[in-house]
Amino acid sequence: MSNGEHDPTDKTPDRQQRQELQRVAVPAIIYDSTHAVAVSRNEKGSLIVRVTTGGIPLFTAAVSTEDDVHVLFPAKRKKAAARPAPSTNTDQQPAAAQKELLPLAIAIEGYPVRSARYDEKTKRFGMTIAHHPDPNDRKNNVVYYDLMAEGDNAAAFYALRLTDTKTPVHVTGIDRSQEVARKGSKTGEKKLIRLIEAESIERIVGRQDNPNMLREKIRLADLL
């Protein structure tokens, strides 16, 4: 409209709306109330966009370095039960601070603090990772999580030979963080033990750990 008034039929976002959009680095996962959009790059540099709803893939598209667009898996109309999207709020407290929600699924990335441990007698695996929730302050903002596994998973994880503290890992499993009484405290003071029962551990190649902690068991392959 030439008089400068807002045209209600104009679907173009105004400047204020555009300013509210936030830039995120790839790889990333974006949620709304019903969908999850995973964005990453493959080994050829192509941009991969994968959309799911309720855990069901809708489609995957690839944008090449020459800006060619290919739909890899056309959408299939499947009816899925509605469910709330998992939170990606990095300020979200662990499961121990949300007792009514225990236990919680989790996907998280971090760097091994030291070599993994394995007890041959008890068939138990253990490792500590350092997660960096703030990409702008990775040095001072570090959250430590203890990983544990038993049985076949424990042996499989130990066989990965996770000894490199400079190579991040992607972990999925169950967040079993808990508050325990602080030793020697006479006032009942408690401390938070961040603990994950690991179900998968994968090495990350070519990038740092992702600052987002997800409340869904999303494997690395699901980001491609």
Strand partners, 110: 169
pTM for this model (two decimals): 0.58
Each of the 224 residues of the chain gets a pLDDT tens digit; together they read 445 454 555 555 555 554 566 676 777 777 666 677 778 777 677 777 777 765 556 667 778 787 777 665 444 444 444 444 444 444 445 544 444 445 889 999 999 999 999 999 999 999 999 999 998 999 999 999 999 999 999 999 999 999 999 999 999 999 999 887 788 777 778 888 899 999 999 999 999 999 988 888 999 887 75
CB-CB contact of 174 with 215 (8 Å) = no
Phi-psi region of 4 (alpha: psi -120 to 50; beta: other; left: phi over 0): left
Q: Domains plus CATH for the chain?
A: 15-73 (no CATH), 95-223 (2.40.50.140)
